[in-house]
Amino acid sequence: MAGLHAAAPLRVIRDPRPPPRLPNTVFGTLAFVVTELMFFAGMVSAFSIARAGSVLGWPPPGQPRLPQMETAVNSFALLLSGLLLYIAGRRFARQRRSARAPLFFAIALGLFFVASQGVEWVALIREGLTLTSSQHGGFFYLIVGSHAVHAAAALCVLAMVALRLLRGRLQSSTFTAARIFWYFVVGIWPALYLLVYL
C-alpha cells in the first residue's frame, strides 16, 4: 500500500528556446535611442535651413552671443562623465563593487553639466535671449533644452542604477541599457555644440 501513495518523481522541463541574444531592456533602449536620433535630426535640419535662409546673419543682430568657452568646459565634463561610465562598465564586468566610484563620479559630472547649462540659460534670458526673441532663441532652447531633458532623464536612470548597485541587486542588462542611454546623451552633445554654439 505504501508504494501506491509514493509521490512520482518530478521531471524538470527545460525551455528548449535559447536565451535571447539581446536582453529586452537593452533592445528597448536601443530602439528608443534610434527614435531620438531621428527626433534630433529633424530639429537640426530645421535649424540648418533657418540659419542658411537668414538674411541678417546668424545669430540675428541684437541677440546675445552664446557662451562658447563656458559651454566648452561643460562639454568636457560631460565627455569625461561618459568615459567614467565606460570604466564603470568594465569594472562591473570584473568585480561589481569596484564600479561604484567611477559610476558616482560620472553621475556627479553629469549633474555639473546640467546645472551649468541651467545657470547659462538664466544668464541668457536676462540678456534677452528667449524662446520668442528670435528664431535663434527659439531653436537654441528647443534643441539644447531637448538635450537637457534627455540628460536629466538619463541621470535619473543612472541614480537608480547606482542605488541598485549599492544594494547588490543590479543586473548586467539593466546597467548596459542605462549606459547606452547616457552614451547617447554624451555622444550627441558635441554635434549639437558645434552646430548651435559655433
Q: Give the chain's domains with CATH numbers.
A: 24-51+69-197 (1.20.120.80)
Can you give the pLDDT at residue 22? 86
Q: pLDDT tens digits for 21-65?
A: 889 999 999 999 999 999 999 999 999 999 998 888 888 888 888
Pull the grid cell for residue 80.
569625461
Q: How confident is the model at residue 79 (pLDDT cuts 50, 70, 90)?
A: very high
Can you give the pLDDT at residue 13? 65
What gap in Å lies between CA 117 and CA 66, rounded to an integer? Answer: 11
Name the residue among 83, 158, 146, 77 with its Cα closest to residue 115.
77
* Mean pLDDT of the region 153-180: 96
Can you give the pLDDT at residue 1? 47
Q: How confident is the model at residue 76 (pLDDT cuts 50, 70, 90)?
A: very high
* Mean pLDDT of the region 74-84: 97
Non-local CB neighbours of 133 within 8 Å, separated by 6+ positions: 63
pTM of the model: 0.87
Can you give the pLDDT at residue 68? 94
- Residue 4, pLDDT > 60, answer no
Can you give the pLDDT at residue 112? 98
- Residue 3, pLDDT > 90, answer no
- Residue 83, pLDDT > 90, answer yes
* Mean pLDDT of the region 173-198: 96
* Mean pLDDT of the region 97-101: 95
Which backbone phi and psi does 22 adopt, to 5 degrees? Answer: -125, 115
* Mean pLDDT of the region 168-184: 96
- Residue 181, pLDDT > 90, answer yes
What gap in Å lies between CA 136 and CA 115, rounded to an integer? Answer: 22
Q: pLDDT tens digits for 106-165?
A: 999 999 999 999 999 999 999 999 999 889 999 999 999 999 999 999 999 999 999 999
